[in-house]
Structure 1
């Protein structure tokens, strides 16, 4: 029986840009892009997990604003995750990459240009749909 691993991810939104992190060559799914986060520990809420993981991996403090629908993804017969996205904003700290190769602040409209990890793709699509509903259109074009 495959155990479902709960994993949180942060959609850190700032002025129409989103923080994206690239997995290092030494990680599973090398060089794929993802929203940063990590595995939930026993008796830990998604919000507590995400704040802890972001501090551990990126050395920054975030504020959780809203949650989105999670995505269950089976990477292999032995690996199944529930990716739990939370919309966040940056609070404080200086970015220090402790696990990832690199990061970028990507304009919301350009998120689809990155080579995302498979579990993140539906999260990106759901976020883009949500963002398009929340953001006023300028001159009839979407952001």
Structure 2
């Protein structure tokens, strides 16, 4: 029996804060992990830094530009067919207009209500690190 190699994907993601709320994005029905909520972002290109990737992906997916406030610890998650390394950044958004090109929906959520959404499993450690960041605890 052949052992299938698990591919690891590096992904940058944005925890966008505005007026005390956090932006969550719902994956479309055609994406992997359909209808799960996530922090927007995307896959790093070869030789691309996580912060450059994040800025590029947010322009492509949401039509927005951000300022990175802080980098949170990277986290690893393994699904059954692939593994993911998430590189999260706390950001602020320039302007108010968001244009969805890939996601089904977005929602501005109070941080205390983030856990009420049905998140992609890989976002669990990102959420934990974000809550630690907000309370000033070490990650």
**Normalising by structure 1, what TM-score?**
0.88
Q: CA deviation at 1:93?
A: 5.9
Give the counterpart of 2:26 among 12, 19, 22. Answer: 22
Query: Which structure 2 residues correspond to residues 1-143 of structure 1 after superposition, within 5 A?
Result: 1-76=5-80, 78-92=81-95, 94-133=97-136
1:132 Cα deviation after fit: 2.2
Measured against aligned partners, the alpha-carbon deviations of 1:23-66 in whole angstroms (never above 9, x if no partner) come to 01111001100000000001111110000000000001111111
Runs of 4+, deviation exceeding 4 Å = none
In structure 1, C-alpha distance between the alignment counterparts of 2:97 and 2:113, rounded to whole Å: 24
Superposition RMSD on alpha carbons, in Å? Answer: 1.3
Residues paired across the two proteins, number? 133
**Structure 2: how far apart are the matches of 1:111 and 1:122?**
13
Deviation at 1:9, TM superposition (A): 0.4
Residue segments in structure 2 that go unaligned for 5+ positions in a row: none
The alignment partner of 1:27 has SS state of coil
Name 1:137's counterpart in structure 2.
Answer: none
Q: Give the unaligned 5+ runs of structure 1.
A: 135-143
Please identify, of 121-130 and 106-115, the stretch whose mean Cα deviation from structure 2 is larger.
121-130
